[in-house]
Amino acid sequence: MSLRMLVLAGATLLLGACVEAPPVEPADDTSAQAAAGRSVMVATPARAAPSAEAATPAQQPQAAPALKAPEQQTGGRGYRHRLVEADPPFQVQPVATLSEPWAMVFLPDGRLLVTQKGGQLRLVNVASGNIGTIAGVPAVAYGGQGGLGDVILHPQFASNRRIYLSYIERSGSNYGAVVVRAQLTLDASGGGSLSNVERVWEQVPKLGGQGHFSHRLAFDGSQKLWITSGDRQAFDPAQDMTGNLGKILRLNDDGSVPADNPFAAQGGIAAQVWTLGHRNPLGIAFDAQGRLWSHEMGPAGGDELNLILRGRNYGWPLVSNGNHYDGTPIPNHDTRPDLEAPKAWWTPVIAPAGMIIYSGNLFPTFRGDAFIGGLASQALVRVRFNDTSAAEFRRYPMGRRIREVEQGPDGAIWLLEDASNGRLLKLVPPA
């Protein structure tokens, strides 16, 4: 090949990285939430049983959702340009197998804390695959969507050894999420224990049923603790400021309320609230600019990715891009411009769970993109941002429900499968 032809070929590759291309929209996995399109019908929301998240038989829809007039099936306004990268851009390495793993976080020594929904906290040596146990976890109420949930480290973990756990507790016939902090001590046998366990936060009120707890956790750069709290399949509490259901909360690391929270002047439970009108937010992450993003499960259609803005109302159950499970339509987001609309949405649903916004160096073309686990979609969903706009960019079929996504210290991406024999997977660049 002549030098002139080599130069032209290289220029073509560079231009290809900037060419607009249509969004990739592989078919969603069959699920209780699968529904297509939009409707112009406006009606008062019915109180029908929701959730694509492993619902019990009583929670399944009684009738197929009403179809809505065609609109964007995957909504959003982010970049959709081609990238010069391998296809697929990673290879999958199984590392360990756990029982219903739910969340994970890396320790400074490279080992991994993993929660199991049944109530166990595991310590995984990712180099050897050995799995130890951390004793001292509070008793959890396991069932439905409930059990042991998220785990994160305090920003000053190296000096205070504090971790934070979320889990479900039972009071009589009612249930609610709780967040505690504790000190972690590791032992020489590959396990450890918790001590000085302190309650930091709880859902108010506790309700019957075992769905839509959410209880995802994150710390920001100012050491503020963020908690997602689902609507508990009760709809109206998401708009009720006397409780903290259907909200995203912002607290100090000890559970006290920051004086600059948007509703602090109201006092009580309302003071905890940063945003309201959420359904079942199961992923939360900060981008490089310090902006908070959260995704949540919609009803029959209308899973959402939201940019979380101080004091805003995100509309549930007043508006949605989906229908109720019994087919009753819900007014579209554009009927209520006073309520915050999602930056991206999915119909058919992906049933999102877990999320990172990638910041590593192992995958240079991933930097700044969000990666969301898909339960019903059994996929890893990649979202690309354009400032505060977002849209699905690619979807990688994984063959199993993906519960959690985490970025490793070396920039690898780690996944947890949602299963009784759920695998811990490491994604690395192709050989």
Q: What is the pLDDT of residues 91-120, one digit of tens each?
A: 999 999 999 999 999 999 999 999 999 999
Q: What is the pLDDT of residues 264-276, one digit of tens each?
A: 999 999 999 999 9
Q: State the total domains in the chain.
A: 1
Helix (H, G, I), strand (E, B) or coil at 261: coil
Asked if residue 113 is part of any domain, the answer here is: yes
Asked if residue 110 is part of any domain, the answer here is: yes
Asked if residue 415 is part of any domain, the answer here is: no
Q: What is the pLDDT of residues 151-170, one digit of tens each?
A: 999 999 999 999 999 999 99
Asked if residue 397 is part of any domain, the answer here is: no
Token pair 């706009």 in the structure block, residue:
389
CA distance readout (Å), 326 to 64, 82, 101, 208: 6, 40, 31, 21
Asked if residue 60 is part of any domain, the answer here is: yes
Asked if residue 66 is part of any domain, the answer here is: yes
The set of residues, in sequence order, having a beta carbon less than 8 Å from that of 281 and lying 6+ positions away, is 214, 216, 228, 229, 230, 248, 294, 295, 296
Q: What is the pLDDT of residues 38-74, one digit of tens each?
A: 222 222 333 333 444 544 333 433 444 444 433 456 7
For residue 189, the domain's CATH number is 2.120.10.30
Q: Look at residue 87 in the predicted model and tell me its pLDDT.
A: 87
Catalytic residues: 212
User: What range defines the domain where residue 111 resides?
Assistant: 51-74+100-350
Mean pLDDT value across residues 181-186: 98
Nearest alpha carbon to residue 249 among 279, 229, 222: 229
